[in-house]
């Protein structure tokens, strides 16, 4: 999976457009994304590259996608992650107060749902958190369920942006795969909130067709992204041979299962990272060929190297 070729000048130009369209002052944006204003100014003039985390934060706060910042389109062949159908930018030149207000409602609801759960959140709570009236919520959305569905769109966008930003800086398949898996670890407040939204949709999708179809779309995109990395690694001879589908299914299932253990406090984020990296190192990476001349110590050393990770120690 080859990252798109992006020059600092082109990314900087689109970043400036996104900031202008968002209505945010540069100083306010620097505070929101946690970036020194001098460093932001250098990045916006093309004399400094945005880091993947900065691209992700910039896209989140301006309403565009990382793909748009890097390539000029929300989904192109140059983008390194599979794009969901519903993910799009509030493109510069088309952003309106209506779009900005709707996005602020979704973001406020997203935090409330992630922290309290769908059933415990009222429309009045969303309105208060977004700083609007109940009538404004009903103007933009048919009801609380419609807002809830939009929070999954928002979660999908966050994950897509994070994947594109990450893969834009990595070229080697093992690093790409470990980076993608690492991006799924609920290690901070935002990623834990994303997992909370996903967990709620997992339960709802078994009963609600609207939730089920949106949930399935998001999973298919995630599966395609991981599959592309695995296939690339197989072509380069770094991953084991064999059908990619069961490898990816097992890996994604492992992410989901271990992620829920973190969310429920059974293990911590660091332990999850070790479990995922252990799986890549011992199951997916092609082991060196010991050959007929290999000594017993060669084989034992390889086994000891894997065992020393201690990934199963709680």
Per run of 10 residues, the mean pLDDT along the chain (length 314 residues) is 61 90 88 91 92 91 89 64 54 59 92 96 96 94 93 91 91 95 95 94 86 86 94 96 96 96 96 97 81 42 42 42
The predicted pLDDT at position 310 comes to: 42
CATH 1.10.357.10 fits 8-307, yes or no: yes
Residue 303 buriedness (CB in 10 A; 0-12 / 13-18 / 19+) = exposed
Distances (CA, A) of 114 to 111, 152, 199, 256: 5, 11, 9, 17
Gap between the Cα atoms of 155 and 103, Å rounded: 12
The predicted pLDDT at position 84 comes to: 54
The predicted pLDDT at position 303 comes to: 42
The predicted pLDDT at position 299 comes to: 39
The predicted pLDDT at position 80 comes to: 54
Query: Which residue from 63, 1, 9, 61 is spatially nearest to 31, judged by alpha carbons?
Result: 61
Gap between the Cα atoms of 137 and 107, Å rounded: 13
Euclidean distance between the first and the last CA atom of the chain, given in angstroms as a whole number: 35
Q: What are the φ and ψ backbone dihedral angles of 46, each rounded to 5 degrees?
A: 85, 10
Q: What are the φ and ψ backbone dihedral angles of 236, each rounded to 5 degrees?
A: -85, -5
The predicted pLDDT at position 1 comes to: 56
Q: What are the φ and ψ backbone dihedral angles of 285, each rounded to 5 degrees?
A: -70, 135
Q: What are the φ and ψ backbone dihedral angles of 289, each rounded to 5 degrees?
A: -80, 115
The predicted pLDDT at position 90 comes to: 57
The predicted pLDDT at position 139 comes to: 93
Domain residue spans in the chain? 8-307
Distances (CA, A) of 45 to 10, 64, 79, 102, 124: 10, 19, 23, 31, 43
Alpha-carbon torsion angle 51, 55, 60, 63, nearest 10:
160
Query: Which residue from 137, 90, 107 is spatially nearest to 32, judged by alpha carbons?
Result: 107
The predicted pLDDT at position 200 comes to: 92
Both tokens of 207, joined, read: 């009963």
The predicted pLDDT at position 208 comes to: 86
Residue located via tokens 């966050």: 158
Its pTM stands at 0.78
The predicted pLDDT at position 142 comes to: 93
């Amino acid at each position: 999976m080859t990252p798109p070729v992006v020059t600092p000048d082109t990314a900087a130009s689109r970043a400036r457009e996104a900031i202008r369209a968002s209505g945010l002052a540069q100083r306010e944006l620097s505070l929101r994304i946690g970036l020194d204003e001098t460093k932001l100014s250098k990045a916006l003039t093309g004399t400094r590259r945005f880091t993947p985390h900065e691209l992700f934060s910039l896209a989140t706060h301006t309403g565009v996608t990382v793909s748009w910042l890097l390539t000029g389109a929300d989904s192109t062949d140059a983008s390194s992650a599979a794009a969901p159908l519903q993910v799009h930018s509030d493109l510069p030149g088309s952003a309106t107060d209506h779009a900005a207000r709707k996005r602020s409602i979704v973001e406020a609801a997203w935090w409330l749902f992630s922290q309290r759960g769908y059933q415990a959140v009222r429309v009045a709570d969303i309105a208060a958190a977004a700083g609007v009236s109940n009538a404004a919520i009903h103007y933009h959305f048919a009801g609380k369920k419609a807002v809830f569905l939009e929070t999954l769109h928002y979660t999908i966008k966050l994950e897509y942006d994070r994947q594109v930003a990450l893969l834009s800086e990595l070229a080697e398949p093992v690093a790409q795969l470990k980076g993608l898996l690492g991006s799924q670890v609920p290690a901070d407040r935002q990623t834990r909130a994303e997992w909370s939204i996903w967990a709620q949709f997992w339960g709802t999708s078994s009963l609600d067709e609207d939730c089920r179809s949106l949930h399935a779309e998001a999973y298919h995109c995630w599966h395609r992204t991981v599959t592309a990395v695995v296939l690339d690694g197989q072509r380069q001879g770094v991953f084991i041979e064999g059908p990619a589908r069961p490898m990816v299914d097992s890996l994604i299932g492992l992410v989901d299962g271990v992620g829920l253990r973190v969310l429920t406090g059974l293990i911590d984020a660091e332990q999850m990272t070790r479990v995922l990296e252990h799986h890549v190192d011992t199951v997916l990476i092609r082991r060196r060929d010991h050959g007929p001349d290999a000594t017993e110590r060669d084989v034992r050393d390889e086994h000891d190297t894997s065992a020393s990770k201690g990934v199963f120690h709680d």
